[in-house]
């Protein structure tokens, strides 16, 4: 098959996917704005051909690149970047070149939070109360219904960018004075912990791989308050999380894709409330955490699904794996050397985080694993303990 990997240098760890695609016999074609000689050696050896454009946002340049690939190599069977930023661009290219996958007409329900909410409700999955708001009076009417605080966020947006927590009328006025001139959705503020359901489906929508994670903070809180984050994987997936995840896969017709679904686990009742869907692998180092948790190669399995529509082997979740971030602006009790000395046997990976991800994922990351959760969480707390 001919497969175009879009913007291949980022996220950096996904070069493993490219290497695996070549292993399974795909003709891998790279399309990006980085000079070929700046690509890492593994990418260069995986690509049959690489086409550099000057501007990834210039659609005409992308059309010419795809046209060239089609002329030289034949019909393109797949294109992806696995980066949510390029979701709309990829959908346009799939539509224009008749490539399987998410097309333009399918974007609204996976990019607009108001549309997502309707799909959740139709699937029988609980959601936070919310509505699209245009004016100050619209917002006041909604707040009279749900009370303060509320959250205002772009109806179409990525991550926690331009998201506001609004606790009183003064903050509401500030929101309308400073928010970008785009469509916003306002939701009741949910008191709960974030959990995710993550996995991979085949081209028929069958669930091949799945796991789940629990987060100590949401992206909005981490970014807005400049705090650090940690989250861990489940060895055993909570029954209601899996049930809700499977309903959402069916409702959104997730086929031959990674997905990352987010929920709130309510503090007062323990029930799940759906937050949003992402039709991509989870961000940062989480894909690598799959490997550490299962002792397998998710990039190989992912490539096998793309090329052969099946995984090479069953998987078992053997460990809890925990992501622990630190920020250079914080004063931690334990130095890096002390962390490595005390918890080195538990730390399976540690590395700097790319700057573009640092506001949400910290400047430096430790990944811990263990068969029992309590020692892992104890180490996480100590690593992040401040003076």
Question: Residue 183's pLDDT is what?
Answer: 94
Asked if pLDDT for residue 97 goes beyond 90, the answer is: yes
Q: How far apart are the first and last CA of the chain?
A: 55
What is the radius of gyration, based on Cα positions, of the chain?
A: 21
- Please, is 258 exposed, middle or buried when counting C-beta atoms within 10 Å of its C-beta (0-12, 13-18, 19+)? buried
The percent of residues in the chain predicted with pLDDT above 90, rounded, is 90
Confidence band of 218 (pLDDT split at 50, 70, 90): low
Residue 70: Cβ within 10 Å count: 15
CATH 3.40.50.20 fits 2-106, yes or no: yes
Q: Superfamily assignment of 192-383 in CATH? A: ATP-grasp fold, B domain (3.30.470.20)
The CATH 3.40.50.20 domain(s) of the chain lie at: 2-106
Burial of 300 (0-12, 13-18, 19+ CB in 10 A): buried
Is pLDDT at 217 greater than 90 in this prediction? no
292 touches 319 (CB < 8 A): yes
Q: Which of 42, 122, 113 is nearest to 276 (CA)?
A: 113
Query: How much is the pLDDT for 214?
Result: 96
Angle (deg, nearest 10), helices 59-73 and 87-97: 50
Q: Give the model's pLDDT for residue 356.
A: 87
Q: What is the location of CATH 3.30.470.20 in the chain?
A: 192-383
- Candidates 249, 355, 258; CA nearest to 298 is 258
Residue 106: which pLDDT band, with cuts at 50, 70 and 90? very high
Please tell me the distance from the alpha carbon of residue 355 to that of residue 212, in angstroms, as a whole number: 26
Determine the topology of domain 129-188 in CATH: Dna Ligase; domain 1 (3.30.1490)
Using alpha carbons, list the distances in angstroms from residue 38 to 43, 46, 52, 227: 10, 14, 11, 33
pLDDT at 84: 87
State how far Cα 153 lies from the chain centre: 17
Determine how many CB atoms are found less than 10 A away from the CB of residue 340: 13
What number is the average pLDDT over the span 339-345?
98
Torsion angle of C-alpha atoms 9, 12, 14, 16, degrees rounded to 10: 100
Half-sphere exposure of 309 (CA within 13 A, CB side): 7
What does pTM read for this prediction? 0.94
Grade residue 163 by pLDDT with cuts at 50, 70 and 90: confident
Q: Are strands 78-80 and 2-6 parallel, antiparallel or unpaired?
A: parallel
Q: List where CATH 3.30.1490.20 sits in the chain.
A: 129-188
| Alpha carbon distance 79, 337 (integer Å) | 42
CA-based nearest residue to 113, from 314, 213, 324, 262: 262
What is the model's pLDDT at position 160? 61
Buried b or exposed e, range 275-287, using 16+ CB within 10 angstroms: bbbbbbbbbbbbb
Mean pLDDT computed over every residue of the chain: 95
- Three-class DSSP labels, the chain: CEEEEECCCCCHHHHHHHHHHHHCCCEEEEEECCCHHHCCHHHHHHCCEEEECCCCCCHHHHHHHHHHHHHHHCCCCEEECCCHHHHHHHHHHHHHHCCCCCCHHHCHHHHEHHHHHHHHHHCCCCECCEEEECCHHHHHHHHHHHCCCEEEEECECCCCCCCEEECCHHHHHHHHHHCCCCCEEEEECCCEEEEEEEEEECCCCCEEEEEEEEECCCHHHHHHHCCCCEEEECCCCCHHHHHHHHHHHHHHCCCCCEEEEEEEEECCCCCEEEEEEECCCCCCCHHHHHHHHHCCCHHHHHHHHHHHCCCCCCCCCCCEEEEEEECCCCCECCCHHHHHHHHCCCEEEEEECCHHHHHHHCCEEEEEEECCHHHHHHHHHHHCCEC
| Token couple for 386 | 């401040």
């Amino acid at each position: 098959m001919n497969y175009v990997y879009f913007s291949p240098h980022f996220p950096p760890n996904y070069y493993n996917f490219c290497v695996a695609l070549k292993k399974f016999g795909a003709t891998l074609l790279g399309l990006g704005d980085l000079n070929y000689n700046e690509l890492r050696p593994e990418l260069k050896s995986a690509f049959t051909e690489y086409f550099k454009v000057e501007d990834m946002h210039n659609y005409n340049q992308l059309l010419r690149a795809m046209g060239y690939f089609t002329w030289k190599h034949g019909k393109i069977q797949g294109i992806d970047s696995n980066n949510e930023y390029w979701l709309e661009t990829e959908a346009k290219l799939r539509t224009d070149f008749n490539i399987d996958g998410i097309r333009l007409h399918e974007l609204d329900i996976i990019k607009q939070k108001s549309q997502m909410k309707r799909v959740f409700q139709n699937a029988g999955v609980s959601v936070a109360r919310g509505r699209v708001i245009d004016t100050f009076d619209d917002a006041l009417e909604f707040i009279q219904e749900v009370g303060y605080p509320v959250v205002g966020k772009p109806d179409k947006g990525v991550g926690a960018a331009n998201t506001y927590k609004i606790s009183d009328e003064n903050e509401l006025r500030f929101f309308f004075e400073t928010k970008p001139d785009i469509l916003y959705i306002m939701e009741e503020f949910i008191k709960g912990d974030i959990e995710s359901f993550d996995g991979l489906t085949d081209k028929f929508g069958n669930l091949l791989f799945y796991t789940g994670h629990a987060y100590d903070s949401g992206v909005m809180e981490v970014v807005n308050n400049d705090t650090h984050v940690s989250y861990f994987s489940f060895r055993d997936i909570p029954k209601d999380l899996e049930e809700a995840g499977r309903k959402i896969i069916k409702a959104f017709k997730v086929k031959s894709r990674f997905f990352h679904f987010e929920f709130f686990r309510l503090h007062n009742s323990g029930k799940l409330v759906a937050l949003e869907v992402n039709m991509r692998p989870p961000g940062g180092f989480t894909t690598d955490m799959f490997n550490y948790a299962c002792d397998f190669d998710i990039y190989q399995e992912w490539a096998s699904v793309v090329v052969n529509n099946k995984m090479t082997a069953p998987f078992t979740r053997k460990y809890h794996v925990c992501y622990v971030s630190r920020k250079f602006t914080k004063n931690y009790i334990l130095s890096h050397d002390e962390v490595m000395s005390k918890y080195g046997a538990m730390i399976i990976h540690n590395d700097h985080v790319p700057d573009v991800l640092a506001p949400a994922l910290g400047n430096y990351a430790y990944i811990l694993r263990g068969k029992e959760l309590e020692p892992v969480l104890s180490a996480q707390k100590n690593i992040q303990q401040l003076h």
